[in-house]
Amino acid sequence: MRRVIVAIMLLSFGLFTQAQEVKSLPQITVSGEGKMKVAPDYAVISFGVETQGKEAAAVKKTNDATVDDVLRFLKKFGIATNDMQTIGVHLGRIYTGEKNKFNYQAIQNLQVTLRDLKQYDALVMGLVDQGINTISGVEFKATKIEEYKTQVRKLATQDALKRAQDYTSPLQQKVGKAHQISETGSMLYPTLQRAEGFFTKEADAMPQETLAIGEIEITAQVTISFVLE
């Protein structure tokens, strides 16, 4: 029994000594950042159909008919079935402000993925002609975004190594192996937002070339602890 206790004590002491040695390693901790701008090649457009009236059944019927026209138009326009999706359905009362007086409101929100950005104006004007009356947002995306993320992470790591070398060079020390790595960054996507609200077919406020595509900026931040040699 005494031998077992001694063995446990020696093992614990060894682990403690090893931990102390790891903690006492000379290290430098730096942060690095990687950035890249790429042109988006497709967009996700969110829009809706909103209908109001006195009778719930009539409001829903009118709203459903408009959405049916919208879906038929999208298919004719060439949008694939898996690139269109209903993201919200609502039917309820809207009180007018007068006591016990209200209208019924039906809302259906949809989302479409547009693979050819050159068709944006034609698509949106066609949707308006079919009866949509809200556009809640346009999000630009890139098909090869995962590849770009990998490249940006490598740039962030290279930046961290360069910073560590900048600090250690005047001290006549060398940067060794990475001891600890943690990613603290985020990927950013530009989004064009249109204020929620109604617009009509008669509104001529949508001239051609209405879309400023811009670029997607992808960033990554990393913190790395290097062992000093």
pLDDT, tens digit, for every residue of 127-165?
Answer: 999 999 999 999 999 999 999 999 999 999 999 999 999
Q: Are residues 78 and 112 in the same domain?
A: yes
The Cα 65–Cα 51 span in angstroms is: 11
Q: Are residues 55 and 135 in the same domain?
A: yes
The Cα 125–Cα 169 span in angstroms is: 61
C-alpha neighbours within 13 Å on the C-beta side of residue 165 = 7
CA Rg value for the chain: 30
- What is the domain-level CATH number for residue 183? 3.30.110.170
Q: Are residues 119 and 66 in the same domain?
A: yes
**The dihedral formed by the CA atoms of 57, 60, 61 and 63, expressed in degrees to the nearest 10:** 160
Give pLDDT, residue 72. 97
Q: Are residues 150 and 218 in the same domain?
A: yes
Give pLDDT, residue 190. 62
Q: 195: which residues sit within 8 A by CB, 6+ positions away?
A: none
Query: Is 204 within a domain?
Result: no
List, for residues 39-82, the tens digit of each pLDDT value. Answer: 999 999 999 999 999 999 999 999 999 999 999 999 999 999 99
Q: Are residues 150 and 110 in the same domain?
A: no
Query: Is 78 within a domain?
Result: yes
Query: Is 222 within a domain?
Result: yes
Give the Cβ contact number of residue 54 at 10 Å.
9
